[in-house]
């Protein structure tokens, strides 16, 4: 029923767009110059709508239309990398806000001096996973370190992981409660006295796969448990999808193992300003805009590159 409703909405949107185009054409055929400014404005809106729909057509994966879980982990490099992970967290939150998506922090682990060690975000809304899936990989930052007393240039790395959020009734993910070991512990880091005093943090171990998920951001133990299960379901779904893709690729004779070390994008703040995606060669010199969430160009270029 959910799929049927989504298809109906999409068909209705296309019908509405076709009607708007026809109405605009009919108005233009009248040849009345007093309608020129109105027609130009409406034509611009229609062109933007069509461009967005062209991009949406590229989202053909089974989970592309759904929500996403995005995780940022700091790499080697101490405080600089943890600060870089926090910058990426801010970038994705800003992007979600500008794109009209819901964004919730499911879990976060603070750095010793600054930044974060890791964070897990739930990005909710239509096409969230489809747009964000290309962000998966290693992100590299080059800048003059604010944490170096000699103000030398440092290179920092952070790993971004993007998972489709699995629905509770997803047939590809079946969790047996007997396969779970659930531990309760006190939250660490900032969060208020209640978070510090009460054992509200949850750690779930999925025994068959060895996957361990922890959530501690909420004051409620129940809410942390639900968030941890959301992450666990998505990780198990990713394992199932990866195994299916591996089997299909091996049948085609084209399977190659994917390594985590691949660097997908560089953000250079010194000695020049540039952000470049190493897969698509898309780049921009407006680094501040990118760090403020303007990553639409990178998302679109990746989707078109992947389709080709």
Q: Is 44 exposed, middle or buried, given 0-12, 13-18 or 19+ CB atoms closer than 10 A?
A: exposed
d(CA 117, CA 143): 19
At 88, is the secondary structure helix, strand, or coil? Answer: helix
> What residues form DSSP beta bridges with 265?
139, 277
Q: What is the pTM of this model?
A: 0.80
User: Could you give the maximum distance between any two Cα atoms of the chain, in Å?
Assistant: 74
Q: Chunk the chain into consecutive blocks of 10 residues (it has 308) and report each block's average pLDDT, rounded to whole numbers.
A: 82 93 92 90 92 83 91 89 96 97 93 92 94 95 89 91 86 88 78 56 93 88 91 91 74 51 88 96 97 96 88
DSSP β-ladder status, 153-164 and 180-185: unpaired
Give 146's contacts (C-beta < 8 A, 6+ positions apart): 83
> For the domain bounded by 177-252, which CATH number is listed?
3.30.160.20
d(CA 288, CA 67): 27
Return the pLDDT at 254.
52
Q: Which two tokens stand for residue 81?
A: 């990398």
Q: Is 260 exposed, middle or buried, given 0-12, 13-18 or 19+ CB atoms closer than 10 A?
A: exposed
Return the pLDDT at 261.
57
Please state which CATH class domain 68-167+257-307 belongs to: alpha beta
Decide if 70 contacts 123 (C-beta within 8 A). yes
d(CA 229, CA 213): 8
d(CA 49, CA 28): 19
d(CA 232, CA 224): 12
Residue count (the chain): 308
Decide if 299 contacts 131 (C-beta within 8 A). yes
Determine which helix (DSSP H) or strand (DSSP E) holds 108, and give its type and residue range: strand 102-110
Give 259's contacts (C-beta < 8 A, 6+ positions apart): none
Round the CA-based radius of gyration of the chain to a whole number and report it.
23
At 102, is the secondary structure helix, strand, or coil? Answer: strand
Decide if 24 contacts 46 (C-beta within 8 A). yes
């Amino acid at each position: 029923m959910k799929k049927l409703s989504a298809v109906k909405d999409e068909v209705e949107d296309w019908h509405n767009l076709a009607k708007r185009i026809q109405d605009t054409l009919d108005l233009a055929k009248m040849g009345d110059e007093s309608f020129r400014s109105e027609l130009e404005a409406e034509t611009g809106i229609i062109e933007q709508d069509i461009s967005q729909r062209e991009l949406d057509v590229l989202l053909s994966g089974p989970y592309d239309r759904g929500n996403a879980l995005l995780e940022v982990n700091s790499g080697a490099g101490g405080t600089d990398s943890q600060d870089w992970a926090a910058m990426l967290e801010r970038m994705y939150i800003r992007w979600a806000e500008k794109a009209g998506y819901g964004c919730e922090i499911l879990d976060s682990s603070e750095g010793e001096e600054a930044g974060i060690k890791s964070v897990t975000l739930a990005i909710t809304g239509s096409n969230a996973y489809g747009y964000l899936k290309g962000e998966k990989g290693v992100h590299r930052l080059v800048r003059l370190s604010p944490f170096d007393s000699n103000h030398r240039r440092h290179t920092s790395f952070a790993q971004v992981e993007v998972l489709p959020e699995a629905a509770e009734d997803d047939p590809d993910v079946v969790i047996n409660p007997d396969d779970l070991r659930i531990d309760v512990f006190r939250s660490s880091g900032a969060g208020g006295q209640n978070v510090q005093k009460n054992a509200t943090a949850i750690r779930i171990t999925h025994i068959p796969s060895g996957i361990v998920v922890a959530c501690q951001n909420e004051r409620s133990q129940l809410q942390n448990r639900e968030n941890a299960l959301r992450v666990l379901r998505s990780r198990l779904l990713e394992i199932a999808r990866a195994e299916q893709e591996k089997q299909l690729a091996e049948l085609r004779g084209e399977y190659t193992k994917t390594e985590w070390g691949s660097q997908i994008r560089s953000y250079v703040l010194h000695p020049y300003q540039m952000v470049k995606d190493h897969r698509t060669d898309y780049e921009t010199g407006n680094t501040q805009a990118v760090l403020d969430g303007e990553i639409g160009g990178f998302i679109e270029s990746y989707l078109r590159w992947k389709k080709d």
